[in-house]
Structure 1
């Protein structure tokens, strides 16, 4: 995956950060899916159906969220400007700026709202867990608060970079 030369370091770091914000919560869900004790009461495992059929939903949610987070890297990589070879019918064609910006912008809005709602609801949630289990839950999900803002910043940069004029800026005397 080629790094674009006109992408500043801050944008690459923000994109990587956004892509990594899901890892702790995904690992927490997978741990629950396979029955690793994370400080929750057995009633919480039973409610989620884990381990068991509920494990499929937990793993699927982890994989889907990781896939969406990974797409942030497309905003700073070449495959975010031209469709990759493996995309049938579109391979090699330019990715429309408004498509990339629109999808990423909606994602930034959705993840920002989700992060805020998660914090608000988890403060009032009646979860049966040990003190360390509540701490672990909060530590695993806290990075998600950064997903929306990081994705938003990279999205604005992507839009500005892709729509700027290629003529040299005028110099002031």
Structure 2
């Protein structure tokens, strides 16, 4: 009598770990919500305690906060903070579906409330103040030890010499510009700092919503796999290159416009005889053009390995989180500024004001922000490699050298 043979068992696969929400995210969301419950209640009891979120006359129309009455803003923040606390509690009590829905709703509400151009202005000014000087120092130190970068030191010397001769880079000019910028920035730091806190809350609850959604569908806790085909490294490399090129073109109109302040034909310069204003235009232009160059790094080898002119870090792999966090921050601020920038451009078209209408071309914040967000996402998908928790995924895909 023949003995039936059992079919072979399929090969064992590693089970996908059930997504557990990280405690730091839950605690941070709960703390943010509790803080704003207290602040909103304080604003209702003492309307004068608000940190100037509505801004001054020069900020009118830059965002929803400049239009809503202070009492309305307090009630909106109170409601969103209460919902945020409910989202964190639902996620902590193993009700991820409810937690995800509420968290996404809070993120959307905060995004609409905090959509404001002032965050972009603050980021742009801080970058213009810090980035050019920092790059000059780091590049000079690193290039002295790099044969490939050493010839570029001549160009740096020529630029500095031209700035000294023209008066733009003289110590007195730099000191006067620092004094003129320091006072307004210090006065507006509380209001713009809290605006940044609201934008950060929108990002925080978006992250909480994503993590809770993973738990609801049983995806991997660490990477969210399995995912659709567009998240594979090869696919991300294709569409990511297009997104990167679009994002790199975003700051070019503004950067090139500011760089005209160094020529005899400055565009939009109030006082051509003031070297401090010319220096500020130079700093803003360099920061914008530097942003375009750094964006290109998302699809270049030096975006994966530190270049030879970077001291200490040269030759080491660039941590994936560095470009992702930096580029993601800029993308969030650009998207937050988009309603105000688009509104000013449309108002300029309606009134026949060419200066305001030019905002649509000089500050293409919406396509720039969307493209930068996509480029950063593609960079992360291409370089993340196989997941250490579930084993799914492919090795990191490096760009061609």
TM-score over 0.5 for the alignment?
Answer: yes
Match of 2:329 in 1: 106
Q: For residue 86 of structure 1, give the secondary structure of its aligned residue in structure 2.
A: coil
Give the direction of change, closer, same or farther, for the CA distance of 1:69–1:111 in structure 2 (3 Å limit). farther
- Does 2:63 correspond to 1:63? no
User: Which secondary structure state, in structure 1, belongs to the residue aligned with residue 368 of structure 2?
Assistant: helix
**Partners of 1:122 and 1:132 in 2: CA distance:** 9
Residues 23 and 66, structure 1, Cα contact 8 Å, conserved in 2? yes
Match of 2:374 in 1: 153
**Maintained 8 Å contact 1:34/1:50:** no
CA contact 1:32–1:55 (8 Å) conserved in 2: yes
Tell me, yes or no, if the aligned pair for 1:85 and 1:92 is still in contact at 8 Å: yes
Q: Which moved more, 1:99-108 or 1:21-30?
A: 21-30
**Offset at residue 155 of structure 1 (A):** 0.7
Q: 1:66 to 1:122 in 2, by over 3 A?
A: same
- What 5-or-longer segments of structure 2 have no aligned partner? 1-232, 395-401
Aligned residue-pair number: 155
Render the CA deviation track for 1:97-126: whole Å, top value 9, x for unaligned. Answer: 12221111112112222343333355568x
Aligned to 1:15: 244
Report the TM-score when normalising by structure 1: 0.71
Q: Is the 8 A contact 1:28 1:140 kept in 2?
A: no
The partner residue of 1:87 within 310, 314, 317 is 310
Shift of 1:25: 2.1
Query: How big is the shift at 1:139?
Result: 5.1
Structure 1 CA distance for aligned equivalents of residues 306 and 249 of structure 2: 23
Q: CA deviation at 1:65?
A: 1.1
- 115-124 or 20-29, which moves further after superposition? 115-124
Partner of residue 257, structure 2? 28
Counterpart mapping for 1:132-147 below 5 A: 132-135=354-357, 137-138=358-359, 140-147=361-368
What corresponds to 1:74 in structure 2?
Answer: 297
Residue aligning to 2:9: none
**Cα distance change on mapping 1:169 and 1:98 into 2, 3 Å:** closer
Cα contact 1:83–1:94 (8 A) shared by 2: yes
Q: Which moved further from structure 2: 147-156 or 8-17?
A: 8-17
CA contact under 8 A between 2:253 and 2:362: conserved in structure 1? yes
Higher relative contact order (CA 8 A, sep 6+): 1
| Structure 2 CA distance for aligned equivalents of residues 24 and 169 of structure 1 | 39
Q: Give the drift of 1:90.
A: 0.6
Q: Distance in 1 between matches of 2:246 and 2:273?
A: 30
**8 Å Cα contact 1:17/1:150 also seen in 2:** yes
Cα RMSD of the aligned pairs, angstroms, is 3.3
2:108 is matched with: none
Which SS does the other structure have where 1:99 is aligned? helix
**Cα pair distance change 1:50/1:109, threshold 3 Å:** farther
